[in-house]
Amino acid sequence: MSASSPCVSICEMESGRCIGCGRSETEIAEWRDYPEEKRLAIMDRLEREAAAGGWFADDAFDGPAGAAAAPTGAGTASPAPASPAPASPAPTGVSRAGT
């Protein structure tokens, strides 16, 4: 029988918690030593936390670790979207199949 685990293979720590499963560094390090009942209790807690919006900061997924999101607000202009490159004309003197 394998041990229950909330691991989703997104193992990156943010503020002492894994952003993938939500476990603390201590819970991850000691997971194999926990009895199954304790693992299931932790997984229940993680599920409740996720249902309530999760434990992580609102900006946890806004960019690279440690990078602050760009401020937004009234009066700031957004850069114009890049326009697609114009289509290249077909070379002259080239025969196309079926024409």
Q: Would the pLDDT of 27 be above 60?
A: yes
Q: What are the b/e assignments for 8-28, b being 16+ CB within 10 Å?
A: eeeeeeeeebbbebbbeeebb
CB 23 within 8 A of CB 8: no
Q: Say how far apart CA 34 and CA 40 lie, in whole Å.
A: 10
In tens, the pLDDT along 33-43 reads 999 999 999 99
Enter the pTM of the model. 0.53
In tens, the pLDDT along 45-84 reads 999 988 888 776 555 555 554 444 433 444 444 444 454 5
How many domains, the chain? 1
Indicate whether 42 belongs to any domain.
yes
Residue 24's domain spans which residues? 13-51
Indicate whether 64 belongs to any domain.
no
